[in-house]
């Protein structure tokens, strides 16, 4: 594979149709995974992280994704063992069959432990036992990164991301903050870990949401390539406008233990600086936007980074997926 990757970044104004399972970004693309995530804070500044996936290991199944999450509290310490709020999510990953329904007003995915909905008012994520309820208002366009098949890349892959401002409750406490809903698409029958972004391209994935003192909500997301590979697709949101880019670069800094502590991202001449004080797993870092290009005072912010440090090799990804092959009929 060469050091130069052909890719494109495009955006869609999301409608309810974008959340139906039959929507795809291309006639030859099929669903390879859906993920919902939230990083939210209570009035005292305590942070919580929630994560769930569907269709990314076994089509038609929802699970709490690996490393298992459900919801964790996020104490401000660079320790990957963030405590689980609900004990059943602290064990081996488990799967639940999902039921999908869609009408003109509602797209709904249900499973024994909860449900995910989209309607004209936004995004809704419910725990069946009432332990959390997250509602999201989309603040960005739905942005799609498309990597076509090329030298060293065997299959087309599409990855779609959007930012939401979240409100709701977790464990009986009112929270607000960041949420996203992501979709991956590839050849029919292939899951995300079999596609080239995860296997060959991703060195770092970054997403954030911030709130300025005047109430403006902004944020963005981007990738960085593996092993010095030039791969910088992403976008930013300012004044309600989503702007895509294909040339984002980032300079991370690490402590003596190899843990991420700061990051500066360049969107052309615009610089965003972040600091990290929290881990949710060996792969996931959380922090804040410390300075943006406008110089405005930042009231609150939430930044989520996935940085594997070489741990997500094709061999490891195949080992993880191996146990699901019988269920997939492969």
| pLDDT of the chain, 330 residues: tens digit per residue | 447 899 999 999 999 999 999 999 999 999 999 999 999 999 999 999 999 999 999 999 999 886 678 899 999 999 999 999 998 888 777 899 999 999 999 999 999 999 999 999 999 999 999 999 999 999 999 999 999 999 999 999 999 999 999 999 999 999 999 999 999 999 999 999 999 999 999 999 999 999 999 999 999 999 999 988 999 999 999 999 999 999 999 999 999 999 999 999 999 999 999 999 999 999 999 999 999 998 899 999 999 999 988 778 888 888 888 888 888 877
Q: Is residue 267 part of a domain?
A: yes
The answer to whether the beta carbons of residues 237 and 213 sit under 8 Å apart is no
Number of domains within the chain: 1
* Domain encompassing residue 191: 8-328
Q: Is residue 240 part of a domain?
A: yes
Q: Which residues of 96-129 are buried (b: 16+ CB within 10 A; e: fewer)?
A: eebeeebeeeebbbbbebbbbbbeeebbbbbbee
Q: Is residue 1 part of a domain?
A: no
Is the pTM higher than 0.85? The answer reads yes
Q: Is residue 195 part of a domain?
A: yes
Q: Which residues contact 115 (CB under 8 A, 6 or more apart)?
A: 108, 109, 125, 126, 128
Q: Is residue 2 part of a domain?
A: no
């Amino acid at each position: 594979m060469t050091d130069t990757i052909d890719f494109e970044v495009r955006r869609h104004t999301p409608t309810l149709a974008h959340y139906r399972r039959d929507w795809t970004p291309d006639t030859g693309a099929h669903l390879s995974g859906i993920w919902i995530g939230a990083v939210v804070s209570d009035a005292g500044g305590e942070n919580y992280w929630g994560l769930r996936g569907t269709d990314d290991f076994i089509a038609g199944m929802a699970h709490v994704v690996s490393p298992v999450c459900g919801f964790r509290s996020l104490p401000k310490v660079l320790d990957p063992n963030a405590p689980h709020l609900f004990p059943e999510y602290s064990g081996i990953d488990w799967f639940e069959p999902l039921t999908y329904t869609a009408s003109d007003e509602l797209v709904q995915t249900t499973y024994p432990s909860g449900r995910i909905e989209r309607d004209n008012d936004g995004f809704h994520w419910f725990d069946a036992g009432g332990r959390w309820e997250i509602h999201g208002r989309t603040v960005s366009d739905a942005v799609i990164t498309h990597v076509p098949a090329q030298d060293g890349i065997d299959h087309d892959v599409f990855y779609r991301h959007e930012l939401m401002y979240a409100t709701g409750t977790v464990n009986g406490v009112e929270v607000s903050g960041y949420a996203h809903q992501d979709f991956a698409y590839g050849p029919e029958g292939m899951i995300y870990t079999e596609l080239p972004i995860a296997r060959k391209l991703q060195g770092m994935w970054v997403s954030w949401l911030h709130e300025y003192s005047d109430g403006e909500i902004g944020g963005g997301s981007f990738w960085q390539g593996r092993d010095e590979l030039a791969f910088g697709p992403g976008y930013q949101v300012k004044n309600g406008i989503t702007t895509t880019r294909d040339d984002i670069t980032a300079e991370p800094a690490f402590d003596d233990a190899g843990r991420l502590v700061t990051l500066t991202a360049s969107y052309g001449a615009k610089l965003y600086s972040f600091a990290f004080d929290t881990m949710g797993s060996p792969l996931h870092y959380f922090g804040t936007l410390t300075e943006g290009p406008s110089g405005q005072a930042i009231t609150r912010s939430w930044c989520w980074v996935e940085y594997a440090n070489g741990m997500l090799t094709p061999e490891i990804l195949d080992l993880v997926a191996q146990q699901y092959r019988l269920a997939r009929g492969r």
